[in-house]
Amino acid sequence: MAVVPERRVLIKNVRIFNGVDANLLHGSIVIQGAVISKILQGASVEELNHNDFSQVIDGGGRVASPGFIDIHSHPMLCMPIPEFMQSSQWTIALYGAKALKTILSHGFTTIRDAGGSDGSISKAVDEGLVEGPRVFPSAKILSQTCGHVDFFPPNGVDSDNGCHCAKMKHLKGIASVVDGVDAVRLAVRENFKHGATQIKICTSGGVASPLDPIHAVQFSPEEIRAAVLEAEHFGETYVMAHSYTTASVRHSIENGVKCIEHGHLIDDETAKMCAEKNVVVSTQFAIFDALFTGGMDKTIQNKVSLEKAMTFKGKLDSIASLIRKYNIKTGFGTDCFGEMLENQCNEFPIRQKFGFSNLQIMVQATSESASIIEMCNKRNSYKKFGVIEEGALADILLHEENPLDDVSVLASPDTQLRLIMRDGMIFKNNL
């Protein structure tokens, strides 16, 4: 059988933001297959024979950036929660495929799934069965009984796989409700069996779940440590914890959690603790903006959750200030799901409003998020991403306006993003 040569693409006449610093390099990018093979500065591109390329794209002096990365995404939580609870796995998968395509159309070429996607979703994207971003899956979120993501009604169990045992219940591929060290250990191992690259647990109450107050501290120290140890032993990877409050964040960190999801209500001393221990605080703003402006009616649809969401109003600037004060690694996450995916790109101007610079936000959404995902160590099967440099995966966006001048232009991806490339494949070209 003849060997098909790898496709070569030349993107010329662009100003390259490498994902790390503000210095824009005027030049061209050579892509070989899925990888950036060469970066040429200035007019040196004229030395190349255009006939050697499958496609030549003239960027017209526009800014080229790495593809964006959302480190808190839920593509499989793809419809209002009451509807989700009544839907089959097949319906969820089809709506999830639609969500993945939407996420890619917003310029996100990589996501860290924060619960609901397993390795089969990653494989479907990698093999081209589904259009979407590269997926680092967490598989099922782990929750204690009456914890965040325990959506089972108090007077009965409705399990998608017929498991009604007291120690483990499964929720539509999104979550496992587990109690006790042995049940946690089993659930973590099951997640790795299904392709998880990291483990997600819940150590505080949440907004979407109707039964647990936000201030609730969840899972025992022994249960958290069991999850952490299993993650370390299986792939030198880590545990991320849904956690809002000072008490729950400290509880998580003291028992080995390396990445806090949300953290909106922590105090100054706890933020300092995160910085000193190199703990990531992956916080999000677009989700609350969406909830405050009608998103609750589109997705969660219960009065208790609406009341819990409103307790965050006017408090979101605190975590942004603490992250800047202590230079805490935060990356770029949105937590937008279902119909609230339309708000995903609002994360850019909202971060700007809360005091992050254009450069800080662009770095958060590219190389900083990549470095957080790469904490999964041996569970990472991909080449370098989140940067434009030789040898990195060819995840590239071309921008109509320079986002380093004003990142708020990214709130309109339909007009702002003229080209979207992932793994050297072009998914949008409006040049």
CA distance between the termini of the chain: 36
Q: What pLDDT shows up at residue 356?
A: 98
Confidence of residue 45 (pLDDT cuts 50, 70, 90): low
Q: Which residues contact 154 (CB under 8 A, 6 or more apart)?
A: 211
**Residue 21: CB atoms within 10 Å:** 10
Q: What pLDDT shows up at residue 227?
A: 99
**Residue 235: CB atoms within 10 Å:** 18
Domain ranges of the chain: 8-67+384-429, 68-354
Q: Report the candidate in 268, 270, 236 with the shortest Cα–Cα distance to residue 253.
A: 270
Rounded to whole angstroms, the Cα distance separating 13 from 26 reads: 7
Confidence of residue 165 (pLDDT cuts 50, 70, 90): very low
Q: Report the candidate in 103, 291, 74 with the shortest Cα–Cα distance to residue 174.
A: 74
Q: What pLDDT shows up at residue 43?
A: 60
Give yes or no for a contact between 59 and 421, defined as CB atoms under 8 angstroms apart: no
Domain 68-354 has CATH 3.20.20.140: yes
**Interval 76-99 mean pLDDT:** 86
More confident residue, 103 or 2: 103
Q: Could you tell me the two tokens for 115?
A: 């619960």
Q: Could you tell me the two tokens for 318?
A: 């605190």
58-71 confidence digits (pLDDT tens): 999 999 999 999 99
Rounded to whole angstroms, the Cα distance separating 66 from 395 reads: 6
Angle at alpha carbon of residue 329, lines to 328 and 333, rounded to 5°: 120
Rounded to whole angstroms, the Cα distance separating 271 from 276 reads: 9
**Residue 276: CB atoms within 10 Å:** 9
325-374 confidence digits (pLDDT tens): 999 999 999 999 888 899 999 999 999 999 999 999 999 999 999 999 99
Give yes or no for a contact between 398 and 63, defined as CB atoms under 8 angstroms apart: yes
379-406 confidence digits (pLDDT tens): 999 999 999 999 999 999 999 999 999 9
- Tokens 């971003």 sit on residue: 133
309-324 confidence digits (pLDDT tens): 888 888 899 999 999 9
Query: Are 8-67+384-429 and 68-354 in the same CATH fold?
Result: no
Q: What pLDDT shows up at residue 395?
A: 99
Beta strands 175-178 and 168-171, pairing class: antiparallel
Pick the CATH number of 8-67+384-429 from 3.40.50.2300, 3.40.50.2000, 2.70.180.20, 2.30.40.10: 2.30.40.10
Give yes or no for a contact between 427 and 132, defined as CB atoms under 8 angstroms apart: no
Rounded to whole angstroms, the Cα distance separating 206 from 300 reads: 12
pTM: 0.94
More confident residue, 166 or 205: 205
**245: β partners:** 265
